[in-house]
């Protein structure tokens, strides 16, 4: 095999970002993928019927368009086009109304009635400061470039979602907030669960929650196209089980979680580091359903028919109870459901007049319980007649999710729980979370800061560390 400066394993968004950053620095990089197609969590397939294109894993991408690293790349030149629904997200209630995350901060606040001022006081400073904060929030623990703004964000972000919700009085504001915070995939009473809700709302006001035209696969394709134009090489169908499989190189970056790192390189790691990896904690899993539909989902609330993402869970109290029960190992009859309806805004996803929909709920890690009926019941609850539109469905439990993408341990799509104990110390307590104890070996997955999401920042920061340590080179600038 040829000799390379660096080898990156895994072509998810972080592996692709790491490979690009290394190649930009003038290195010769080989990117390896175990599957026959690139993408990791960025794949799209005809899962149900011919002509119906479904996102196998991730679907809606506010962090992709907001990524400080991806923003520096000419991805539009490589075929990537984002489509923005009129509303980023909607949250229906049993009374037939819905709250919504609208592009305008002011419009969102106005629709929250008595909570208008509270929402503006909470979100306006963050929306205004986010462009300067993004690189620090989406990175390892370090002294921030804007310490006062970071401190203001941290005061709210480190609190639990249920604590912050006490500021709101209306059904609408409390429900909308709960749906946002539930993206943290842990009980809403946990510290730091406010962080993801605040970030998602801020980026929603700044750039919306967009959908990649043609499917999430197009993000991976654009990143790969740019990487190969720089001179990088991609080899698919190369499943790595040992470092000895790889060609001569000075650095290896693995887009894998601690479990796989131990399997691939355990004997080369120090006992202390191995012990830390063995104690790494994974979070709740997901059960996912994709549908081919005979028409658009008939949501009662009009806001839901204008949103790319719909959060199904009714009140804050109901969502909090559902997430807590799931964390306790139970399977709620009315789970919190995250639903995306890409075909409403992207005509390439389904035949004329037909539609696709994508949804998942949280389940205990490793669960194989079929949650199809519970998920479809939640959709029908807010969209009577939905079940009559189903032409075909495709389901994935946690075991099937992990079989599809080995990084989804027990169905955990975040690469490990992102609670206070693993927010910045993932996967281990080290000066640099991207360095392993073995020289020249780095971790670049969502098991490093800032964690899950299609932003590529874990890969960028890992590449930055490798460039400095192994090659004495600066990382590409973030602008």
Residue 479, pLDDT score: 64
- Which CATH code fits 6-44+55-76+212-280+413-471? 3.50.50.60
Q: What is the 3-state secondary structure (H, E, C) of the chain?
A: CCCCCEEEECCCHHHHHHHHHHHHCCCCEEEECCCCCCCCCCCEECCCCCCCCEECCCCCCHHHHHCCCHHHCCHHHHCCCEECCCEEEEEECCCCCEEEECCCHHHHHHCCHHHHHHHHHHHHHHHHHHHHHHHHHCCCCCCCCCHHHHHHHHHHHCCCHHHHHCCCCCHHHHHHHHHHHHHHCCCCCCCCHHHHHHHHHHHHHHHCCCEECCCCHHHHHHHHHHHHHCCCEEECCCCCCCHHHCCCCCEEEECCCHHHHHHHHHHHCCHHHHHHHHCCCCCCEEEEEEEEECCCCCCCCHHHHHEEEEEECCCHHHHHHHHHHHHCCCCCCCCCEEEECHHHCCHHHCCCCCEEEEEEEEECCCCCCCCHHHHHHHHHHHCCCHHHHEEEEEEECHHHHHHHCCCCHHHCCCCCCCCHHHCCCCCCCCCCCCECCCCCEEECCCCCCCCCCCCCHHHHHHHHHHHHHHHCCCCCCCC
Nearest by Cα to 133 from 120, 121, 145, 119: 145
Strands 87-92 and 355-363, bridge-based pairing: unpaired
Strands 441-443 and 251-254, bridge-based pairing: parallel
Contact 364, 332 (CB under 8 A): no
For 65, the token pair is 């368009």
Nearest by Cα to 184 from 163, 160, 168: 160
Q: Compute the distance between CA of residue 337 and CA of residue 371 in angstroms, rounded to an integer.
A: 11
Q: Which residues belong to CATH 3.50.50.60 in the chain? A: 6-44+55-76+212-280+413-471
Q: Compute the distance between CA of residue 43 and CA of residue 129 in angstroms, rounded to an integer.
A: 33
Which residues does the chain have with pLDDT short of 70?
Answer: 1-2, 479
Fold of the domain built from segment(s) 82-108+156-200+283-404: Polyamine Oxidase; Chain A, domain 2 (3.90.660)
Q: Which residues belong to CATH 3.90.660 in the chain? A: 82-108+156-200+283-404
Q: What does the CA dihedral 33, 451, 337, 81 come to, rounded to 10 degrees?
A: -60
Q: What is the pLDDT of residues 264-299, one digit of tens each?
A: 999 999 999 999 999 999 999 999 999 999 999 999
Does the N-terminal peptide bond of residue 46 adopt cis geometry, omega within 30 degrees of 0? no
Contact 398, 353 (CB under 8 A): no
From the centroid of its chain, how far is CA 92? 23
Q: Compute the distance between CA of residue 463 and CA of residue 440 in angstroms, rounded to an integer.
A: 11
> What angle separates helix 13-24 from helix 217-229, to the nearest 10 degrees?
20
């Amino acid at each position: 095999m040829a000799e390379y400066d660096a080898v990156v394993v895994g072509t998810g968004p972080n592996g692709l970002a790491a490979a690009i950053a290394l190649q930009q620095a003038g290195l010769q990089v080989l990117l390896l993928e175990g599957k026959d197609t690139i993408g990791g969590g960025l794949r799209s397939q005809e899962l149900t019927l011919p002509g119906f294109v479904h996102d196998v894993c991730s679907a809606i991408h506010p962090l992709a368009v907001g990524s400080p690293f991806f923003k520096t790349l000419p991805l539009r030149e490589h075929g990537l086009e984002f489509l923005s629904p009129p509303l980023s997200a909607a949250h229906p209630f049993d009374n037939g109304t819905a709250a919504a995350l609208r592009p305008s901060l002011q419009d969102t606040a106005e629709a929250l009635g008595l909570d208008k001022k509270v929402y503006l006081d909470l979100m306006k400073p963050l929306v205004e400061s986010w462009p300067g904060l993004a690189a620090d929030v989406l990175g390892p623990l370090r002294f921030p470039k804007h310490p006062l703004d970071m401190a203001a964000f941290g005061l709210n972000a480190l609190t639990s979602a249920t604590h912050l919700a006490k500021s709101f009085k209306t059904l609408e504001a409390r429900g909308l907030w709960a749906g946002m915070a539930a993206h943290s995939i842990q009980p809403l009473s946990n510290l730091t669960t406010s962080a993801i809700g605040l970030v998602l709302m801020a980026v929603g006001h700044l750039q919306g929650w967009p959908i990649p035209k043609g499917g999430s696969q197009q993000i991976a394709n654009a990143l790969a196209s740019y990487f190969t134009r720089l001179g990088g090489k991609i080899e698919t169908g190369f499943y790595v089980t040992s470092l000895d499989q790889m060609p001569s190189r000075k650095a290896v970056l693995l887009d894998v979680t601690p479990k796989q790192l131990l399997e691939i390189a355990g004997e080369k790691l120090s006992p202390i580091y191995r012990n830390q990896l063995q104690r790494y904690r994974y979070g709740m899993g997901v059960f996912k359903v994709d549908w081919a539909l005979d028409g658009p989902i008939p949501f009662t609330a009009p806001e839901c028919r204008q949103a790319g993402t719909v959060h199904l869970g009714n009140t804050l109290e109901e969502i909090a109870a559902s997430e807590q029960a799931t964390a306790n190992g139970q399977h709620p009859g009315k789970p919190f459901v995250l639903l995306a309806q890409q075909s409403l805004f992207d005509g390439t996803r389904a035949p004329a007049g037909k539609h696709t929909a994508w949804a998942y709920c949280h389940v205990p890690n490793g669960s194989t319980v079929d949650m199809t009926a519970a998920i479809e019941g939640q959709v029908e609850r807010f969209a009577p007649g939905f079940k009559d539109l189903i032409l075909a469905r495709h389901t994935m439990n946690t075991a099937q999710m992990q079989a599809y993408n080995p990084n989804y341990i027990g169905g955990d799509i975040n690469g490990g729980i992102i609670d206070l104990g693993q927010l910045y110390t993932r996967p281990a307590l080290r000066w640099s979370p991207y360095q392993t104890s073995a020289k020249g070996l780095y971790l670049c997955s969502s098991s490093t800061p800032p964690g899950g999401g299609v932003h590529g920042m874990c890969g960028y920061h890992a590449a930055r560390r490798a460039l400095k340590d192994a090659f004495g080179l600066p990382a590409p600038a973030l602008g």
